[in-house]
């Protein structure tokens, strides 16, 4: 019996040069590599700092890197040396896509900006990721996700009224910017396939967060209303909240549809509220939000989370638990949806998340976990660029090319 053929990947044949460090640019590269692009990650001597962030394995490499660096070919080039810049120039000349997330102007200082390739490589797709974008008065400012989530409006609406604005324990601004950049790259490649040239994609972290703000801007401009933080609820939609159960666990209940609300309140032992004409529409429920939340809080407080969820499932009311990583790994639905992939690091298994979206005909996959520093130097630089063994050795001696 022969093995089934490996499905074709949608970005197979696309070469990407990834320049930059930490998260936004590298996550863009991860998305493209997962769906088949050849992503060559250019790292400084010693590698991307994210290799040493957060929890480390026994060899001092972060578990995060094994996920973020998957499917990438990693080379080390010192861009502080002219010979290193020239190597990167040659790599870009062979590529379809460049991803960079340096401070605006950095690539131009190296003469590696998009204008430096506009004549010699007009088909190049050039994605630039920065805190505030390539233009405008704030463009020179350094912009990490933490800061850009604030100016982009996300932090303003996140938290409890009267309290300090909070953030999720994630670098959301970076990740969302990476998704925007990957989308822009695919759109630009699609346009190129239709006969167009390459183009520059300018992604700002603060704009990527701004893009998530739903109706915040038109509500202010049209009605003069500034949406404020609302804790665990969403302004103007009732009921949708988080409730503490008798076993100390929280559940989320979304009963804001008119018929759903009726089923919810009957299940919660409040048929009087189910049929109350004041609460028949969302507008009325918004007006009486405190009364509804108190009734649901009281009901949940006297039952275990499992009992609450089982009752609401029976009533066909949207509700669910709040999961940790341990809960996800133990859940059969996550397993059935193939949301984890297992790789090996020095002979030891490690689960990393699958990357979405799922494509039925050409699904992405993890071919290898994030490799060691400089793991593909010889393949990419010696064999791929055609350097002579003598030149490769000289560049290695001078530190232009280096391993870990």
Residues marked as catalytic: 174
Distance CA 107, CA 100 (A): 8
Q: Which two tokens stand for residue 245?
A: 């159960």
Q: Give the distance, in angstroms, between the CA of residue 142 and the centroid of all CA atoms in the same chain.
A: 20
Q: Which SS3 state, helix, strand or coil, does residue 404 take?
A: coil
Ramachandran angles phi, psi of 127, nearest 5°:
-100, 125
What are the counts of helices (DSSP H) followed by strands (DSSP E) for the chain? 18, 11
End-to-end CA separation in angstroms for the chain:
42
Distance CA 330, CA 321 (A): 13
| Cβ neighbours around 19 below 10 Å, total | 25
* 5 to 8, 9, 296: CA distances (angstroms): 9, 12, 53
Helix, strand, coil shares of the chain, percent, nearest 5, are 40, 15, 45
Region for residue 347 given its phi and psi (left: phi exceeds 0; alpha: psi -120 to 50; beta: otherwise): left
Q: Which SS3 state, helix, strand or coil, does residue 182 take?
A: helix
Query: For residues 35 and 57, is the Cβ–Cβ distance under 8 A?
Result: no
Query: For residues 188 and 40, is the Cβ–Cβ distance under 8 A?
Result: no
Q: Give the distance, in angstroms, between the CA of residue 95 and the centroid of all CA atoms in the same chain.
A: 24
Q: Which SS3 state, helix, strand or coil, does residue 196 take?
A: coil
* 178 to 110, 125, 145: CA distances (angstroms): 23, 15, 11
């Amino acid at each position: 019996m022969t093995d089934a053929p490996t499905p074709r990947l949608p970005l197979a044949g696309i070469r990407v040069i990834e320049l930059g460090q930490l998260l936004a640019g590298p996550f863009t590269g991860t998305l493209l590599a997962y769906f088949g692009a050849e992503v060559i990650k250019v790292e400084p001597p010693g590698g991307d700092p994210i290799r040493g962030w957060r929890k480390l394995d026994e060899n001092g490499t972060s578990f995060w890197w094994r996920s973020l660096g998957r499917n990438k070919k990693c080379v080390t080039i010192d861009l502080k040396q002219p010979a290193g810049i020239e190597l990167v120039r040659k790599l870009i000349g062979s590529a379809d896509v460049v991803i960079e997330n340096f401070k605006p102007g950095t690539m131009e200082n190296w003469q590696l900006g998009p204008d430096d390739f506009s004549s010699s490589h007009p088909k190049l797709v050039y994605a630039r990721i920065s805190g505030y974008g390539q233009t405008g008065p704030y463009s020179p400012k350094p912009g990490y996700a933490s800061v850009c989530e604030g100016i982009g409006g996300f932090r303003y609406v996140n938290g409890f009224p009267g309290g300090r604005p909070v953030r999720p324990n994630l670098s959301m601004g970076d990740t969302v910017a990476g998704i925007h950049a990957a989308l822009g790259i695919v759109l630009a490649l699609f346009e190129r396939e239709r006969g167009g040239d390459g183009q520059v994609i300018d992604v700002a972290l603060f704009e990527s967060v701004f893009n998530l703000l739903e109706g915040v801007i038109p509500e202010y401009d049209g009605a003069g209303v500034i949406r404020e933080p609302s804790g665990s609820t969403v302004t103007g939609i009732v009921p949708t909240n988080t409730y503490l159960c008798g076993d100390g666990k929280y559940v989320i209940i979304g009963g804001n549809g008119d018929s759903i609300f009726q089923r919810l309140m009957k299940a919660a032992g409040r048929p009087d509220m189910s049929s109350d004409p004041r609460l028949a529409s969302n507008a009325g429920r918004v007006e009486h939000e405190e009364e509804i939340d108190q009734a649901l809080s009281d009901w949940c407080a006297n039952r275990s989370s499992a009992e609450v969820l089982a009752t609401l499932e029976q009533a066909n009311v949207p509700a669910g638990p709040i999961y940790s990583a341990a809960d996800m790994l133990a859940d059969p639905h996550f397993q059935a949806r193939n949301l984890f992939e297992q790789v090996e690091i020095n002979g030891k298994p490690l689960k990393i998340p699958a990357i979405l979206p799922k494509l039925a005909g050409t699904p992405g996959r993890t071919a290898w976990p994030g490799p060691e520093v400089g793991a593909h130097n010889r393949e990419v630089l010696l064999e791929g660029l055609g350097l002579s063994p003598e030149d490769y050795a000289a560049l290695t001696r001078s530190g232009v090319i280096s391993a870990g």
